């Protein structure tokens, strides 16, 4: 009987601890291994290729995008954009509806003097391999003059494109036209203040939450059809130079990236649950409302199995002590 109980306890522990994570657990952190990627400045989770993240270098590295397998940290595809000319300062990447990739050539930190910046749009490839893809180039101007920016987001439901300018004392969320035009200038207008020196931003997969990060912190906002409302602080990890952020494709994690050779991407639980709904949350930025790594019924089952195993082991140990000769 004691042996049976011990075997049961071991099986429960092994099953609970070794059970594969479900989609609700989100992705884990990883390290970008590609030696070509030394200034990863944007990050976007692929919806077509589970566990793959798109990134790019900062500044004028070229019209290149890299697909990184988060399981290994290795590049599984390099996409060269054609039809866009020579990029000046690519700073952000986002994936919108219909698996369209948007790339923000929006950096302007050398005096903030450019009259216009660019956004590139291209379809995410269905097959991950090195290839060249034609992109559409959009000319962008701000209604209130030149801006330096590193954050571009595309709403996952409406497809509308937004930019957050980068200012040390806080910037603004700028909304583009309902549909970008490749034949004229697209004017972006400020619609809401953002309390962050923003280096990147990301929508939750359901479009109900906006995460904005900086070098040393981050803020979560409920979207409210663009009338953003501050929810609380994000648990941003300390990184060498925090430059990028995205949600995991299931929305349970927020992934934070950094610049540098072999830079790391850290995974943190998304606040206020996967849906990004803060109506029932406390607004303090914690993940107490359901953003835990093993949330929901699976987490309860796993925890219960471990508890049962511990009780069985304790029971066996007590019986052995009682039978030990004095």
**Which residues share a beta bridge with 30?**
265
Cα 292 to Cα 92: distance, rounded to the nearest angstrom: 27
What pLDDT score does 323 carry? 40
Query: Distance between CA 175 and CA 178 in Å, rounded?
Result: 9
Residues 6+ away with beta carbon under 8 Å from 86: 60, 62, 63
pLDDT of 150: 96
What is the residue whose two structure tokens read 């270098």?
Answer: 57
Cα dihedral 267→270→274→277 (10° resolution): -160
> What's the Cα-to-Cα distance from 116 to each of 11, 21, 41, 105, 149, rounded to whole Å?
62, 45, 20, 10, 12
Gap between the terminal Cα atoms of the chain: 23
User: What is the pLDDT, as a whole number, of residue 106?
Assistant: 96
pLDDT of 62: 87
Q: What is the DSSP string of 163-187?
A: EEE--TT-EEEEE--SS--SSSEEE
The predicted pLDDT at position 272 comes to 75
pLDDT at site 109: 82
Residue 84 contacts residue 137 (beta carbons within 8 Å): yes
Helix (H, G, I), strand (E, B) or coil at 326: coil
| C-alpha span between 249 and 51 (Å, rounded) | 8
Look at residue 218 and give its three-state secondary structure.
strand
Instruction: List the chain pLDDT tens, one digit each, 326 residues.
Output: 333 333 333 333 333 333 333 333 347 899 999 999 999 999 999 999 999 999 999 876 789 999 999 999 999 999 999 999 899 999 999 999 999 999 999 999 887 889 999 999 999 999 999 999 999 999 999 999 999 999 999 999 999 999 999 999 999 999 999 999 999 999 999 999 999 999 999 999 999 999 999 998 999 999 999 999 999 999 999 898 999 999 999 999 999 999 999 999 999 999 876 544 443 333 333 333 333 333 333 333 333 333 333 333 333 333 433 343 44
Strands 74-82 vs 131-134: parallel, antiparallel or unpaired: parallel
Q: How far apart are CA 145 and CA 113, in angstroms?
A: 9
Region for 65 from its dihedrals, namely left if φ exceeds 0, alpha if ψ lies in -120 to 50, beta otherwise:
beta
> In the prediction, which pLDDT does 96 show?
98
> How many CB atoms lie under 10 A from the CB of residue 311?
12
């Amino acid at each position: 009987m004691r042996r049976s109980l011990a075997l049961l306890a071991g099986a429960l522990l092994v099953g609970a601890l070794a059970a594969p994570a479900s989609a609700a657990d989100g992705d884990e952190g990883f390290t970008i291994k590609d030696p070509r990627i030394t200034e990863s400045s944007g990050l976007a989770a692929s919806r077509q290729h589970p566990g793959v993240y798109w990134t790019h270098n900062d500044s004028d590295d070229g019209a290149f995008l890299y697909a990184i397998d988060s399981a290994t940290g290795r590049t599984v595809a390099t996409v060269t954009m054609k039809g866009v000319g020579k990029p000046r300062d690519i700073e952000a990447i986002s994936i919108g509806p219909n698996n369209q990739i948007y790339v923000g050539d929006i950096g302007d930190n050398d005096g903030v003097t450019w009259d216009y910046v660019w956004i590139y749009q291209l379809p995410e490839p269905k097959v991950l391999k090195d290839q060249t893809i034609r992109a559409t180039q959009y000319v962008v101007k701000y209604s209130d003059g030149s801006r330096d920016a590193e954050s571009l987001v595309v709403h996952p439901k409406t497809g509308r494109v937004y930019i957050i300018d980068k200012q040390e004392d806080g910037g603004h969320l700028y909304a583009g036209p309902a549909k970008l035009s490749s034949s004229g200038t697209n004017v972006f207008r400020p619609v809401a203040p953002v309390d962050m020196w923003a280096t990147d931003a990301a929508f939750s997969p359901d479009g109900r939450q906006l995460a904005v990060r900086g070098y040393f912190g981050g803020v979560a906002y409920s979207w409210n059809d663009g009338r953003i409302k501050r929810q609380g602080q994000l648990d941003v990890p300390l990184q060498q130079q925090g430059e990028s952020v995205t949600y995991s494709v299931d929305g349970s994690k927020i992934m934070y990236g950094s610049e540098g050779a072999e830079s790391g991407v850290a995974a943190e639980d998304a606040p206020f649950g996967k849906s990004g709904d803060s109506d029932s949350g406390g607004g303090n930025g914690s993940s107490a409302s359901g953003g835990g790594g093993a949330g929901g019924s699976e987490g309860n089952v796993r925890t219960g199995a471990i508890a049962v195993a511990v009780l069985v082991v304790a029971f066996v140990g007590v019986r052995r002590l009682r039978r030990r000769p004095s």
